[in-house]
Amino acid sequence: LCRKEGLDVMAYFALAEGFLTGKYRTAADAAKSAARGGDATAMLNPRGLRILAALDAVAAAHHATCAQVALAWLIHQPGVRPIASATSEAQLDDLAAAMVLKLSAADLATLATASRPE
């Protein structure tokens, strides 16, 4: 409906509360962060791990971080504008780099395939 009406969607929690940064890969990782780690455990399933693997592969090919790739993927989606927050200057620099990361059609396909529901 938004695309039909020419409206963009603001994607809040674009990094899935930190999960798409790659910092939560196990239940032990999630336990280290009381604020967001608990929510990440729900994403530690075959689909979530498949998404992290795809992010890792695309990030390695571009010498980028998982967060940069995840945000760049959203930026490449028609009508989607991601919102992400940073708690440090280093995180802000990392997120800003997503604005100039150019993903190929193959990268986009890899990420789309990995993120499909099971």
Task: Say if residues 29 and 37 touch (Cβ distance below 8 Å).
Answer: yes
pLDDT at 36: 61
Average pLDDT of every residue of the chain: 91
| Cα–Cα distance, 72 to 87 (Å, whole number) | 20
Confidence of residue 45 (pLDDT cuts 50, 70, 90): very high
* Helices (H), ranges, 7-104: 27-31, 37-41, 46-62, 66-75, 89-97
Q: Does 17 have pLDDT greater than 90?
A: no
